[in-house]
Amino acid sequence: MIKSVFLIFLIVRIAQTHIVEIENGKIIGAEYNDYYAYRGLRYAKAQRFRIAKPYEEKWNDTKEFFNYGHECAQYDHLTYTYVGQEDCLFLNVFLPKSVINSKEPVPVVAFLYGGAFMFGSSNYYHPEFFMNHGKMILVTLNYRLGILGFLSTEDNILPGNLGLKDQVEALKWVQRNIKAFNGDANKVTITGYSAGAASVHLHYLSPLSKNLFNNGISHSGVAFNPWVLVENSKEKAYKVAEYAECPFDDHKEMVKCLKKKPASSLVMLAKKFQPFLYNPFSPFGVVVEKPHKNAFLTDLPQKLLKNGNFNKRPWIVSMTKDEGNYPAAEFYGNLKTMNEIDTNWEKLAPSILDFDELTTDSEKKSEVSRIIREFYMHKMPISRENYQAFDDILSDRLFKHHSVVAIQLQSKWSSSYYYYFNYKSLMGVGEIMSKTNDNLGIAHGEDVFLIFKSGLRHLPYSDEELEMNKKLLNFYYDFAKSDTPKFAGLTIEQSTPDNCKYLQIFSNEKFSMKEIDENFGNVNFWDKMEKMLLHSNKKHNDEL
């Protein structure tokens, strides 16, 4: 009797739930007031240090997908601990009820999380705002990180970029399956934050990503940022092998040995490559691969753009006023750390500003560090009282400078747009990273956390923030649907190589188009600094 009642309950429950049939079989998701959430859909099977294989298991019954899958194994920046699992290649589809019976398939947004290619998870970005908007399907996905996702021996034994190739596999899954959710495979907008934003830009440059997306939005990151491309990846792989007590004179034997090590022991080796707190924050990241069938990135990003050798789709870049909040806010939260940076600037600056590996000339690194400090700080100490000037150093070096260079190059070949976010929310990355309530400006990803709800925020959203949220989501929808971005009715003007324009957003009422001048990101200054560091490096001279 009890069994019969349970079966009747289950049949009724399934009948009332929206069933979707993907290539593997029928699925149901968790139901909410305005949407269905299909969480933990496996798109591929991770194989350590190998390209992931598409997940091809079939089933005849109807499977439930209510819960998130595992986040990928990582050395977490917020907790400084090992979290996650290797079995992590899952994605999530969030389907507004309002689009289920739409006569035309609807635009799709595929989101790539940030975390310096070292940490992060799709599970942290909640869909409620997108679902309240009700006109787009949202896909979020996991990809491998750190040593497990980006280790490279610079040859065909372990070419690298596995995390990016995971993203490609997820985007292929979207192309094959999104129609089942009434999504339009021809209108997939890829978007991301920080390392996810740089990933978006890299998909424009990759032959593997051709025809997998229609346009993209990069929030707080581009492929040219100094923390994206990794220097000396082969030497780092050797160091990983040495720490793991594996041979490294034979790459096949090295990888064979590393495959036998516990994931946690490999992941936590990242600490040895980040000598100052979590800096440099991307010791394992993107590499240019030797030519082979599955190469994701075949040349330096700047060279690919200069030559027009990329996927010419519309692109939006966004930056916030105080991008350097990551990592400056974490330093701000600890007076001892701020004092250490002030006292040992010439020693620490190359790691914090990610130019330590650009030259072996220690005197040149010290000279450049002194010039940078004088240019921004003048004679002021690096302290909480002078935080804005310190933040500006990190903002310009780690984010803004190369965003301008990227938009100038890309706009020669395809529609390119820029917006500059100068609106302060009640709680952003600055407050989270510093663990203070001090106003540290418009932080890294401030706009992203007005688009996605986050478990890291404990404050309710104000009416003003919710209005900004609506404007940003309408902006997303206009771009996803028509390739033409608008903000509150204002069409954003395209940039050109000679006239870089951007939309500056101060508030719900105050926003306007501006032109980028030489002071924006201090582009000329940083061009000069890079040339000082790279004057003897032919590879980088070609790039610049």
Residues classed as catalytic = 194, 323, 444
| CA quadruple 271, 273, 279, 285: dihedral, nearest 10 | -110
User: CA-CA distances (angstroms) from residue 529 to 270, 368, 371, 396, 540?
Assistant: 28, 7, 9, 12, 13
Pair 75, 86: CB distance under 8 Å: no
Q: What is the CA radius of gyration of the chain?
A: 23
Burial 204-225 (b: 16+ CB within 10 A, else e): bbbebbeebbbbbbbbbbbbbb
Say how far apart CA 156 and CA 49 lie, in whole Å.
11
Pair 26, 184: CB distance under 8 Å: no
User: CA-CA distances (angstroms) from residue 190 to 170, 314, 505?
Assistant: 11, 11, 22
Q: Which residues contact 292 (CB under 8 A, 6 or more apart)?
A: 156, 159
Tell me which residue of 213, 50, 220, 61 sits closest to 141, measured CA to CA. 213
Q: State the DSSP code for 107.
A: E
Amino acid at 274: Q
User: What is the token pair recorded at 397?
Assistant: 């070096």
Instruction: Count the Cβ atoms, other than its own, within 10 Å of residue 358.
Output: 20
Say how far apart CA 301 and CA 325 lie, in whole Å.
26
Instruction: Count the Cβ atoms, other than its own, within 10 Å of residue 518.
Output: 10
Helix 401-410 / helix 523-534 crossing angle, nearest 10 deg: 100
- Kindly report whether the peptide bond that precedes residue 127 is cis, defined as omega within 30 degrees of 0: no
Pair 319, 424: CB distance under 8 Å: no
User: CA-CA distances (angstroms) from residue 451 to 18, 208, 467?
Assistant: 26, 29, 11
Collapsed DSSP state (helix, strand, coil) of residue 125:
strand
